Structure 1
Amino acid sequence: MFQQSIETSKSIAGIGRQGAIALALPGIAACAAVAGVAYGLRTLPGVHDFSPMIIAIALGMLVRNTIGVPAALTAGIGFSMRRLLRLAIILLGLQLTFGQVAETGVRGVAVILAAVAATFLFTLAVGRLMGADRRLTRLIAAGTSICGASAVAAANSVVDAHDEDVAYAVACVTVFGSVAMFAYPLLQGVLGLAPRDYGLWAGSSIHEIAQVVAATFAVGREAGDFGTVAKLTRVMTLAPVVFAMAAFLPAPGEAGSERPRAPLPWFVLGFIALVAVNSVVGLPDALKAETGVVSTFLLTMALAAMGLETSFVRLRAKGLKPALTGALASLFIASLSLILISLT
């Protein structure tokens, strides 16, 4: 189906913009429907702590591997995976400000930057040592070190991995992030960290924003507030990391040869520009809330599209090496962040 998406995209180029939009609408509508169902399922007990993006990719995979996906949806699915994803990441910039970085403090920023950089490099090294697929390893590295499923999706804009790789990486950060979400409050009872230190630990090491919120507010309001700010500061590293991946990591070929580096993801500049605008202008809270809803829904649609192109058969073929890589990476970022907080 991946090859089919490429061929369909080429045919779109020759039929004009209006024809291309008409061809893509059914697939876009299907992705929106899966995303809507994902939001609905979040109202169920025990599901609320999972982001709609994670639920959407799981639903998409379920549909793809049970009833199948008609060829008529291919163009819209490809559009959602690429164009809508980039628009969502740009809009995400309106949820962040440089002032939030300042609130974290020099110590907090130093811990976060060290944890992100070290975890990313550690994951690449472990993946190579284990012989795991390099594209998949890079997606796991981005998701573990930065912000879970959204980082996996953004990183794939330059990694150009198969949809099964994206689904596998999202599954890794979901499982290990969920384990951390439940384990951290229990560990806090043993460690006895100050509320802000606990918030910094969770914000600098747990994968998804929703998981950080659940793990920190379970301890208290002060820990929750600081943990959320620390996590948002960590999200700010998404842009430079994706740029660095495009600029310095050559894309591996199918047979181990190196292809030319991916083009720079210029849409990330839009993300940075909106962060700057939000920092300088101070946009109304209502506008930021509305764009936050739109950004999250578009990301959910993009992950739904990836799920709709993911085959369980190919997913199983990836084996356990990438999962073990993700587990070790999660343990590494949790341990390193705690050590850095204790030392400082």
Structure 2
Amino acid sequence: MKNVLSKIVYFTLITLCLLGFINSPLALILGFLFAIIFKNPFKQHSHKFIHYLLKLSVIGLGFGMYLFETLETSKTSFNLTLYTITLTIVLGLILTKVLKIDLKLGHLITSGTAICGGSAIAAIAPIIKAKSNTISLALGIVFLLNAVALFVFPTIGHFLNLTQEQFGLWCAVAIHDTSSVVGAALNYGEEALRIATTVKLSRTLWIIPLSFFSMLFFKTNQGKLKTPYFIVLFILAIIINSYQILPPYITTFIVSLSKRLLLVTLFIVGSTISIKKLKATGLKPITLAVVLWVFISLFSLWYILK
């Protein structure tokens, strides 16, 4: 009976997200509270749901963007992306050794912080042959910090009077996962959302050189490099919108639906955060993640405001 009730509540909350009655921070909170009060009936499939819904949503957002503006944004953010990824990886390697953390766990946390959270962890894990428990710990820590970022970043952005452009760039660089980046920017403004999505996805491409680095660093040559094909579809969506291949009312509907799907994604992300798992993680990996996160947040904010 309880399992039936949990499914009813689960789909009711998802429906509220789809109808737009819930904003991004509330979607995450409700997901987290749902996981505490009820047993998640789809726990084993949640990460797959997140994986596909996020990519589908991001592709849909491409129908609200324009090609030349997107290229200009990516070009402007290139130096910041290069500096933050390089410095974060170097600092992560040093702190992993200093804190005496398992090298593979430290590298996954560092990769997730440097580039794009869960996507980077999922791409790098098979290359370095990480165990499932190590992957789960890294994902759990990253998802926790993503949840915090969703509330903290917009508050700081408004406090510092960051422009739409500044905030979009900042959250794209300093927040780990694409879902929380878009969630934070969604409430800040349309321009912030456009910039944040563009910069974050161009940043995702850095998974490829990081994969080669990981292969050399861990001396593995059997790992498979994962190409983020959804980025190609995202670019295709931008081209379709830029040249008005589809009528405006269709592209507008797709963008609106994509934003609602992102709310569903954030709800599911919240439902995967486990306090029990985080307690079992220990302080050292969390310390590593927090220090790296604070570093990339402060450095990128300084770079943007200088």
TM above 0.5, yes or no, is: yes
The residue that corresponds to 1:326 in the other structure is 289
CA spacing shift, 1:181–1:85, aligned 2, 3 Å: closer
Aligned with 2:61 (options 75, 81, 95): 95
Is 1:233 aligned with 2:204? no
2:13 pairs, out of 21, 37, 60, with 37
What is the match of residue 144 of structure 2?
171
- Structure 1 unaligned regions, length at least 5: 1-26, 218-223
C-alpha change, 1:260 and 1:228, in structure 2 (3 Å) is same
Name the amino acid aligned to 1:289. Answer: S
Give the counterpart of 1:287 among 254, 278, 290.
254
Question: Higher relative CO (CA 8 A, sep ≥ 6), structure 1 or 2?
Answer: 2
**In 2: Cα distance, 1:78 partner to 1:166 partner:** 14
In the alignment, the residues of structure 2 paired with residue 30 and residue 242 of structure 1 have an alpha-carbon distance, to the nearest angstrom, of 37
Distance (whole Å) between structure 2 residues aligned to residue 176 and residue 290 of structure 1: 24
Residues in 1 aligned to 2:45 and 2:240: alpha-carbon distance in whole angstroms:
32
The normalised TM-score by structure 1 is 0.61
Gaps of at least 5 residues in structure 2 are: 126-131
Among 239, 258, 263, the alignment partner of 2:224 is 263
How far did 1:319 drift?
A: 1.5
Distance 1:93 1:341, change over 3 A: same
8 A contact 2:109–2:142 mirrored in 1: yes
Question: Counterpart of 1:94 in structure 2: which amino acid?
Answer: G
Matching residue of 1:81:
47
3-state SS in 1 of match to 2:281: coil
CA contact (8 A) 1:146 1:237 kept: no
| Aligned-pair CA distance for 1:236 | 0.8
| TM-score normalised by structure 2 residue count | 0.68
- Cα 1:281–1:212 change in 2 (3 A) is closer
Q: Distance in 1 between matches of 2:297 and 2:163?
A: 17
Larger radius of gyration: 1
Aligned counterparts of 1:153 and 1:137: Cα–Cα separation in 2: 16
Query: Where in structure 2 are the equivalents of 1:83-232 lying within 5 Å?
Result: 84-91=49-56, 92-96=58-62, 98-104=67-73, 106-146=75-115, 151-152=117-118, 155-156=121-122, 158-159=124-125, 160=132, 161-176=134-149, 178-188=151-161, 196-197=165-166, 200-206=169-175, 208=180, 209-214=182-187, 217=188, 224-232=189-197
Provide the secondary structure at the position in 2 that maps to 1:317: helix
Contact 1:104 1:226 in 2 (8 A): no
Q: How many angstroms does 1:235 deviate by? A: 1.8
Q: Distance in 1 between matches of 2:29 and 2:122?
A: 16
The aligned length equals: 279
Q: Cα RMSD (Å) of the superposition?
A: 4.3
Q: Give the partner amino acid of 2:159.
A: L
